[in-house]
Chains A and B, each alone.
Chain A
Amino acid sequence: MNCRSEVLEVTVEARQVEEAMLALLHTILLHRSSGKFHYKKEGTYSIGTVGTIDIDCDFIDFTFVRVSSEELDRVIRKAVSEFKDALSGDGMGQISLEFYQKKKSRWPFSDECIPWEVWSIKVNVVNLANEQERQICREKVGEKLGEKVINVVEVINRHEYLPKMPTQSEVDNVFDTSLKDVQPYLYKITYQITDSLGTSVSTTMRRLIKDTLAL
C-alpha cells in the first residue's frame, strides 16, 4: 500500500488499556493537528492557536500531553472505550489510527479515502495476580509508554510525505474541520480483536469485484 505504517506494541493490564490507548492516540494526534485555518481573500490563511493540557493517568505512572480540545477528547474516548469493551478481559487486540486524504472522483464512484499514514497499536492484555505485581506493572507500563512517545516523536520528526496545505475549497479533503477549536488531519480509528483478525467478508468481496473488472 502506498502509505507509511508504524506499529507500536504494548502489554498492559486490563484496567490500563483505556489510559494507555488514550495516551498513545492523543500523543500522535497532538502532532498531527493544527489550529483552525482562517482563509483570507487573497488565498492566504492564518492558523489559529492550539492549547495543550497535561493529563495524569490513574492506573499508570504516566503523564501525557494532549490537545486541549474537549470535543476531540470525547471522540477518541468513545472509540477507545468501544475497543476496551470489545476486548473484554484478556486477549490481544489492535487499534489503528489511520490518517487519510479524500480524493474527489468522477460521478459513478464515491470519493476515495486514501490513507497516507497508519499507526497500529497492538495491545496485549495480561492478568496479574497480586497487588505487588500490579505496582510493578504500573511503573513498567509508564516507562514503556514514555519510550513509545519518544518513538512517535522520532517518526514524526522525519521529513516524510505530508499532504500539502490545501486551499479553502479543498480543506475538507485534508483536514477534519468538524471540530471548533482544533483541526487534525482527517483520521479514522478502527480496531480489531485477534479472533476476527482475518479480512472481513465485505473487503474480500470488494476486492474480488475490483479484480475481475481490472484489465
Chain B
Amino acid sequence: MAHFDTEYQRLEASYSDSPPGEENLLMHVPEGAKSQWHHIENLDLFFQRVYNLHQKNGFTCMLLGEIFELVQLLFVVGFTVFLANCVDYDILFANKFVNHTDSSKVTLPDAFLPVDVCSARIRDNAFVIFVLIISGVFWLHRLVKFIYNVCCYWEIRSFYINALKMTMSELPYATWQEVQARIVEIQKEHQICIHKKELTELDIYHRILRFKNYMVAMVNKSLLPVRFRLPALGESVFYTRGLKYNFELIFFWGPGSLFENEWSLKSEYKRGGNRLELADKLASRILWIGIANLLLCPVILVWQILYAFFSYTEVIKREPGSLGARCWSLYGRCYLRHFNELDHELMSRLSKGYKAASKYMNCFLSPLLTVVAKNVAFFAGSLLAVLIALTIYDEDVLAVEHVLSSITLLGVCITVCRSFIPDKHMVFCPEQLLRVILSHIHYMPDHWQGNAHRYETRDQFSQLFQYKAVFILEELISPVVTPIILIFSLRRKSLEIIDFFRNFTVEVVGVGDTCSFAQMDIRQHGHPAWMSAGKTEASIYQQAEDGKTELSLMHFAITNPQWQPPQETTHFISQLKERVHREATGVTSDTHPLLLSESEPRSLIANLLVGPSTLTSIHFGRDSSLTNHAAAGLSDGASALRSLSPISSSLHLRGSLSATHRASGHTSTMSKAMAGSGTDARTVSSGSSIWEGQLTSLVLSEYASTEMSIHALYMHELHKQQSRGELSRHTWHRQDSDESSDSIPDEVRSEPNPHSRHFPRSHTFPTTVPSPSAIPTSASAISSTTLGQEGASSHNSSSQRRHSGSTTESFGAGGKVVRSARGVPMGGWAEEGQAAPRHHDTLPEESSEDDMPPYIHKIT
C-alpha cells in the first residue's frame, strides 16, 4: 500500500469543548492560594491564639513553659506520694538507729523504704490510689491538650512569620498594638475575615474578648451571685476560679449552653416568646451542673489542695511576708475591667495601682494589733538574738535539739509581727492614696470619695484587693461552696440571665453576636451622670453602672488611636479630650507660654498642683462648705497628681502641644498630639526644645496609660459634681439587681431636682450654656493667674457659674420632662429595636416584645 500524503490528518485528541484556537485567546493566570491565611474558619479562636502566642512571648517560650508544667505536675504528684509512703521518718528523726558497719553517718538513702515495701504500702492505701488515678487522668488530659496545642500554635507561628512578617525572636519586644496593626493590614491583602474588606481594632477585640465582655457586663449589672450577706462576716464577695469556670461552662460553652458556637447565641434565646420556658430549662441545667459539682467535689478538692500546696508553700518558705501580701481579687478584676480590655492591659493597670493600694490598706493597721505585735516581736527578737549570739560563739549549739528550728520559727514570727507594725515615717493620708489608686484602677463606687478614712471603705476595698492567704483559702473551699451557690443562688436568677442575654446581645456583621455593652455606644448604654447626658437614650436597665461605658470608650480610644469610632462617639471623645486639654493648657499656656523647657522644675510642679486641684476646690466651693475643706481638697488632688508627676507632665505638654496645633490651623490627629507629647517629655528632661523626633509605639502606649489616668480622674471628678444632689446609685450597695432597676427609675426620673439635672442637659451646647467643664476651666485660668487668692476666687467664679446655671434652667426643663416621660423602665425592652446603631443590626425579634411585661424582674 502506498503511503499517501493527504491533507486529511488525524486531529490531536482533545476533549476541549472550546473551539480550536480559543486557548490562545483566553488565557487565565491562576492567582493560586499564595497564602493559606485567607478566610479562616474560626476567627475567634484564631485571634485568641494569635494573642496568646504574643502574650507568651513566642512559640519556643510557650512550648517550654507547657512542657515544664507537665513535668511539674508529674513531679508534684510523684513527690507527694513518695514522701507519704516511701520515707522512713523514724530514721530521719533518729528515733531508730541504722546499724551501719563502716560509718555512723546516716545517709538519705537509708531513710528510703525498699521498693517492694513502698509499692505495697501504696497499693494498700485506697486514698492514695484515688489521688493517683485522678492525677493520672488529669495529666493525660493535659498531655493530649498539649499535643493538640502544639499543632495549633505551630500554625499560628507560621502565620506570624509568613503573613505578619514577624520572627519569633522579635515577638517579645513587639507590642500588641503593633501586632494588631499588622493584622489589620493583612486583612486587606488576605481577607482573613470574608465579611468585610477591612477589619477594625474593635472587631479583633470583640472576637478575643467576646465572653469576657459578657462577664464584665454581668458583674457590672450585678447579675452574677457573687456578693453575699453572711451572718458573721457581713457583706462579702465570693468569686473563685472554680465558680468562674462553672459560670462560663453554663453560659458559653458547656453542653446545652446558651451559645450555639463561639460566635452566635442560639436563636431561641434571641426571641422573647418562650423566655419562661427557657429560664426553666436553664434552671434545671444549673441544677444538674451543681449536682455534678457536688459529686465531683472530693476530686476537685484533692486537686486544689495539691496544687495550692505545691505552688504556695515554696513561696511562704522563701518570704513569709508574702502571705500578708495582697493581690487583686478575681472579683476585683471583673469589677475593674473595662469593656474591651485585654488581659495584659488590665494587668499592667492593676500592677501600677498595686503599690498605692497596699499602702492604702496598710494605713488601717489596727492599733491594738500593733501594740501586741510590737511586744511579741520584742520577746521573740531577744530570744533570737541570744540564740544567734550563742551560735556564733560556738556552733555546737546548733546540734542541740530544736535550736535550729526555733531560730527559724522566731525569725518567721518576727517577720509576721513586723508586717503589723506601721512604718514610723508613714503619714496617714487615705484620701490621697485612694485618688492615686483611682487613677490606675479607674473605677470606684461614688461613696468612697470623701470617706476614704472610714473602715467600711477599707473593707469594701479589700473585696477588690484581698490578702493572698484569703485568696488561697477561698480557692480551697471553693469546691464545696460552688455547688451551693449554683444550686441556690444562680438558679433563682435564671430568668434574669435569659433576659440579659436577649436584651444585651447584638449581631455585628463580621463579628457575630456580641455583648451590646461592648459596642461602647454612649447612646445605648451611656449613663447620664457620667457625661453622656443628653446623648444617651438608655433606660435604667440599659445603662452601664459606674460609668463603665464612658470610661471603657475613653480607654479604648486612647489605647487604640487608629480606631475610628462612629460619628457621635467621635464627638463625645473629642469633646472630652478637648476639655481635659483645655484644663491642662489653661494653666500652662498662661503662665509659661509653651516653652516648658525653660521653666524650672518648681514651677512645673506648681502647674501640676494647680491643674486638677482647682477641680476639687471648685467642687468643694460649690458645695459651699468650709474653706478648710477646700484646702483639703486642694492638697488632696495635688498629691494625687504629684504621684503621677514624672509622667503627668506629659499631659500638660501634650495639652499645650495640641493647643499649638490647633492654633496653627492643624487638625492634629490624636496620634500626632501623642507623638508630640511623647518626644516632648523626653526633650524636656534633656533641656532642649525640639518638638519632632522618632517615636515608638511603646512610648505611645506608656503615655496613653497616663492620659487615661488623667481622663479617669477627670471623669470621676465631673461625675461627682453632676451627681451631687441627685440620688446616688451605685452598684456597691446593691444586693439584687431587681431592686435597683425597680426603685431607681421612680426616684431619679420623677423627682423634681432641676439643679443637678440641669447640667447634663446643657452639655450639647458647650459654647452658649455653661457646662460643668466651663467651671473648672475658667476657675483654673483664674487660679493660675492669681495663685495666692486661689480659694476665694474660685469660690466666686463657681458661685457665679452656679447662678448662671440656674438661670438657664428654665429653658432646659421642657426637654427634661419629655425625657423623663419616656424613660420609664419599659423602654429597656421596647426601645431596644429602634435604638439600634447604624453599623449593626439588632436582633429583629426585639421589637416584637411589646406584649411582654415591663417589669421582667418581678416575675421571679
- The reply to whether the CB of B27 lies closer than 8 angstroms to some CB of chain A is yes
- The reply to whether the CB of B255 lies closer than 8 angstroms to some CB of chain A is yes
Q: Output the nearest chain A residue to B19 by Cβ-Cβ distance.
A: A49
User: Given contacts A167-B30, A170-B32, are A4 and B17 in contact (CB under 8 A)?
Assistant: no
Q: Are A106 and B261 in contact (CB under 8 A)?
A: no
Q: Which of B216-250 contact A (CB under 8 A)?
A: none
Q: Are A38 and B23 in contact (CB under 8 A)?
A: yes
Q: Are B29 and A101 in contact (CB under 8 A)?
A: no
Q: Mark A161-195, 1 if CB is under 8 A from B, else 0.
A: 10111111010010000000100000000000000
Q: Are B151 and A164 in contact (CB under 8 A)?
A: no
Q: Mark A128-168, 1 if CB is under 8 A from B, else 0.
A: 00000000000000000000000000000000110111111
Contacts of A53 in B (CB 8 A): none
Q: Which of B26-51 contact A (CB under 8 A)?
A: 26-34, 36, 38-43, 45, 49
Contacts of A103 in B (CB 8 A): 36
Contacts of B32 in A (CB 8 A): 164-167, 170
Q: Mark B265-296, 1 if CB is under 8 A from A, else 0.
A: 00000000000000000000000000000000
- The reply to whether the CB of B263 lies closer than 8 angstroms to some CB of chain A is yes
Q: Report the minimum CB–CB distance from A72 to chain B (whole Å).
A: 15
> Bound complex: CA of A106 vs CA of B147, how far in Å?
13
Contacts of A75 in B (CB 8 A): none
Number of chain B residues close to chain A: CB under 8 A: 42
Q: Report the minimum CB–CB distance from A18 to chain B (whole Å).
A: 27
Q: Which of A182-213 contact B (CB under 8 A)?
A: 199, 204, 207-208, 211-213
Q: Are B33 and A1 in contact (CB under 8 A)?
A: no
Q: Are A165 and B31 in contact (CB under 8 A)?
A: yes
- The reply to whether the CB of B64 lies closer than 8 angstroms to some CB of chain A is no
- The reply to whether the CB of B667 lies closer than 8 angstroms to some CB of chain A is no
User: Given contacts A109-B151, A204-B255, A213-B145, are A45 and B40 in contact (CB under 8 A)?
Assistant: no
Contacts of A168 in B (CB 8 A): 30
Q: Output the nearest chain A residue to B49 by Cβ-Cβ distance.
A: A215
- The reply to whether the CB of A2 lies closer than 8 angstroms to some CB of chain B is yes
Contacts of A166 in B (CB 8 A): 30, 32-33
Q: Report the minimum CB–CB distance from B140 to chain A (whole Å).
A: 12
Contacts of A116 in B (CB 8 A): 39, 194
> Bound complex: CA of A116 vs CA of B146, how far in Å?
30
Contacts of B253 in A (CB 8 A): 207, 211
Q: Are B27 and A2 in contact (CB under 8 A)?
A: no
Q: Which of A2-54 contact B (CB under 8 A)?
A: 2-4, 35-36, 38, 40, 43-49
Q: Are A44 and B16 in contact (CB under 8 A)?
A: no
- The reply to whether the CB of B195 lies closer than 8 angstroms to some CB of chain A is yes
- The reply to whether the CB of B696 lies closer than 8 angstroms to some CB of chain A is no
Q: Are B255 and A164 in contact (CB under 8 A)?
A: no
Contacts of B145 in A (CB 8 A): 212-213, 215
- The reply to whether the CB of A112 lies closer than 8 angstroms to some CB of chain B is yes
> Bound complex: CA of A142 vs CA of B34, how far in Å?
44
Q: Report the minimum CB–CB distance from B566 to chain A (whole Å).
A: 23
Contacts of B33 in A (CB 8 A): 163-164, 166-167, 170, 173
Contact of A161 among B42, B149, B194 (CB under 8 A): B194
Q: Are B30 and A199 in contact (CB under 8 A)?
A: no
Q: Report the minimum CB–CB distance from A203 to chain B (whole Å).
A: 9
Contacts of A112 in B (CB 8 A): 41
Q: Are A114 and B39 in contact (CB under 8 A)?
A: yes
- The reply to whether the CB of B419 lies closer than 8 angstroms to some CB of chain A is no
- The reply to whether the CB of B110 lies closer than 8 angstroms to some CB of chain A is no
Main secondary structure of the interface of A (DSSP, over half): loop
Q: Are A46 and B149 in contact (CB under 8 A)?
A: no
> Bound complex: CA of A35 vs CA of B145, how far in Å?
45
> Bound complex: CA of A56 vs CA of B247, how far in Å?
56
Contacts of A46 in B (CB 8 A): 16, 18, 22-23, 26-28
Q: Report the minimum CB–CB distance from A3 to chain B (whole Å).
A: 7
> Bound complex: CA of A213 vs CA of B261, how far in Å?
15
Contacts of A208 in B (CB 8 A): 255
Q: Output the nearest chain B residue to A100 by Cβ-Cβ distance.
A: B41
- The reply to whether the CB of B191 lies closer than 8 angstroms to some CB of chain A is yes
Q: Are B17 and A108 in contact (CB under 8 A)?
A: no
Q: Are B194 and A4 in contact (CB under 8 A)?
A: yes
Contacts of A40 in B (CB 8 A): 23, 27
Contacts of B49 in A (CB 8 A): 215
- The reply to whether the CB of B94 lies closer than 8 angstroms to some CB of chain A is no
> Bound complex: CA of A114 vs CA of B34, how far in Å?
17
Contacts of A199 in B (CB 8 A): 260
Q: Which of A113-130 contact B (CB under 8 A)?
A: 114-116
Q: Are B38 and A164 in contact (CB under 8 A)?
A: yes
Q: Are A45 and B512 in contact (CB under 8 A)?
A: no
Contacts of A160 in B (CB 8 A): 194
Q: Are B194 and A2 in contact (CB under 8 A)?
A: yes
Q: Report the minimum CB–CB distance from B637 to chain A (whole Å).
A: 44
> Bound complex: CA of A181 vs CA of B148, how far in Å?
42
Q: Which of A87-119 contact B (CB under 8 A)?
A: 101, 103, 106, 108-109, 112, 114-116
Q: Are B195 and A163 in contact (CB under 8 A)?
A: no
Q: Are B41 and A1 in contact (CB under 8 A)?
A: yes
Q: Output the nearest chain B residue to A169 by Cβ-Cβ distance.
A: B32
Q: Are B26 and A47 in contact (CB under 8 A)?
A: yes
Q: Report the minimum CB–CB distance from A214 to chain B (whole Å).
A: 7
Q: Are B45 and A163 in contact (CB under 8 A)?
A: no
- The reply to whether the CB of B414 lies closer than 8 angstroms to some CB of chain A is no
Q: Are B30 and A43 in contact (CB under 8 A)?
A: yes
Contact of A2 among B34, B36, B193 (CB under 8 A): B193
Q: Which of B181-198 contact A (CB under 8 A)?
A: 191, 193-195
Q: Are B193 and A164 in contact (CB under 8 A)?
A: no
Contact of B45 among A170, A212, A214 (CB under 8 A): A214
> Bound complex: CA of A109 vs CA of B33, how far in Å?
20
Contacts of A213 in B (CB 8 A): 144-145, 148-149
Q: Are B261 and A207 in contact (CB under 8 A)?
A: yes
Q: Are A49 and B23 in contact (CB under 8 A)?
A: no
Q: Are B151 and A108 in contact (CB under 8 A)?
A: yes
User: Given contacts A1-B512, A112-B41, are A44 and B151 in contact (CB under 8 A)?
Assistant: no
In the complex, given contacts A48-B18, A213-B145, what are 13 additional A-B residue pairs having Cβ atoms less than 8 angstroms apart?
A1-B263, A2-B39, A2-B42, A2-B195, A35-B17, A46-B23, A106-B154, A116-B39, A161-B194, A163-B38, A170-B33, A213-B144, A215-B49
Subset of 26 A-B contacts with CB under 8 Å: A1-B261, A1-B263, A1-B512, A2-B39, A2-B194, A2-B195, A4-B195, A38-B16, A43-B29, A46-B16, A48-B16, A109-B151, A161-B38, A161-B191, A161-B194, A163-B38, A163-B39, A164-B33, A164-B38, A168-B30, A173-B33, A207-B253, A211-B253, A212-B145, A213-B149, A214-B45
Contacts from A to B (Cβ < 8 Å): 1-4, 35-36, 38, 40, 43-49, 101, 103, 106, 108-109, 112, 114-116, 160-161, 163-168, 170, 173, 181, 199, 204, 207-208, 211-215
